[in-house]
Chain A
Amino acid sequence: MLMIAKVALGLGATLALATAYTFHEGVIRVDVDESRQGGSHVHLWFPATTVSAGLRLAPKHYLSHAAEQARPYLPVLREVAKELQKYPNAEFVDVTDSRDHVHIAMVNGKLHVDAVSDSEDVHIVIPAETLGDVAARLEDAAPGI
């Protein structure tokens, strides 16, 4: 009985640690809703750590190709990601008219991009830290930037 309790405690602690690690960077959220008939509805929630881990595990040639494509924008992405972390709560862009609304802001260290229009709603939430990670990984894969 004592042995089972010890095993359960070990498993529980491992699970708790794994969960804490998985979610330590936060969650990436992508919601897309098209209001037309038969329009798509995409709702994705996944731990930001999976992006960083995925970039580490991705085959190098794929990453190099992606980095090559994104090369002109990587220095900007790196700087923006670095700077965004200094402003955990701030509103950057807000465009409103009678039909559309675009809002870009940092809320609790996460970049929120919301675009709402008559035809579709798009909401994206991504931790600034993850953006920095992506920029760093891609830069590593495309040396010379």
Chain B
Amino acid sequence: MGHCHREFLRFASVLAFAAVSLAPAALLAQTSTAKTDQWIHVRVESKDNKGEVVRVNVPIEMAEKVLPAINKDGLHNGKVRIDSAHMEDVDVRALLDAIRTSKDGEYVTVQSNENDVRVAKSGGYLYIHVTDRSGEKHSDAKASTAKGTPAKEEKVEIKVPMKVVDALFSAGKDELDVLAALRALAATGDIELVTVKDSENTVRVWIDSKNVAD
């Protein structure tokens, strides 16, 4: 056995030892990467005769990569241009800034026969709950002619981490930074973002680490 052969064997044994030692670390790294894969799910269920069900599942990482590649209409480099004229002279940025710097609490509570609105901030989340009963009255009127009409109440529940709101408005004036918001969302754990329920449809938007909808 020559000197070269011995050197080669020594080198191979060092390599094998390194591979065996590093394998668990590599496996662990792989597991942790897989664990942080967050998916955004959208589910729309229609209760009409057609019984339409829409399920969309998108990995946030994929959305982060693909979004900057879309440059069409108002969307450029992951930012959406918003027309300030449509904001009806409301300075949303100042409004959100005021909410962000304020303490946790209920900011808006409206209770009327037709609507309940609640806007609150708690534990780093912004909550917007709206119950619209304006359709209920019409259905009540019809109910006198057709019994059994379901109550037309619409409920909207939105829960957004303040970090995501901050990221969304982090771009320049008249722009929404959707890409930054996605990145902030990816850092958030499992969360139910939007729930809309009315007599005809149910809409859910949520984030978790599963690659299929419920």
Binding site for B on A (CB under 8 A): 72, 75-76, 78-80, 82-84, 86-87, 89-99
Please tell me if the beta carbons of A87 and B66 are within 8 angstroms of each other in the complex. no
Name B39's closest neighbour in chain A (CB-CB): A90
Tell me how far the C-beta of B185 lies from the nearest C-beta in chain A, rounded to whole angstroms: 17
Hey, which chain B residues are within 8 Å of A87, CB to CB? 59, 62, 211
Please tell me if the beta carbons of B57 and A92 are within 8 angstroms of each other in the complex. yes
Please tell me if the beta carbons of A83 and B69 are within 8 angstroms of each other in the complex. no
Binding site for A on B (CB under 8 A): 46, 49-59, 61-62, 65-66, 69-72, 211-213
Measured between alpha carbons, how far is A46 from B65 in the docked complex, in Å?
Answer: 31
10 smallest beta-carbon distances between A and B, as pairs:
A75-B69, A97-B52, A83-B62, A94-B55, A97-B50, A90-B211, A79-B69, A79-B66, A76-B69, A98-B50
Please tell me if the beta carbons of B66 and A91 are within 8 angstroms of each other in the complex. no
Q: By DSSP majority rule, is chain B's interface helix, strand, loop, or mixed? A: mixed
Name B67's closest neighbour in chain A (CB-CB): A79
Tell me how many residue pairs across A and B have CB atoms closer than 8 Å.
64
Measured between alpha carbons, how far is A126 from B55 in the docked complex, in Å?
Answer: 22
Hey, which chain B residues are within 8 Å of A72, CB to CB? 71-72
Q: With A72-B72, A79-B65, A79-B69 known to touch, is A98 a contact of B59 (CB < 8 Å)?
A: no
Measured between alpha carbons, how far is A92 from B71 in the docked complex, in Å?
Answer: 22
Name B69's closest neighbour in chain A (CB-CB): A75
Measured between alpha carbons, how far is A86 from B71 in the docked complex, in Å?
Answer: 24
Tell me how far the C-beta of A86 lies from the nearest C-beta in chain B, rounded to whole angstroms: 8
Hey, which chain A residues are within 8 Å of B72, CB to CB? 72
Show 27 residue pairs from A and B whose CB-CB distance is below 8 angstroms, ordered by the A residue.
A72-B72, A75-B70, A75-B71, A76-B66, A79-B66, A82-B65, A83-B59, A83-B61, A83-B62, A83-B65, A84-B62, A86-B59, A86-B62, A87-B211, A90-B57, A90-B59, A90-B212, A92-B56, A92-B58, A93-B55, A94-B53, A94-B54, A94-B56, A95-B54, A96-B51, A98-B50, A99-B50
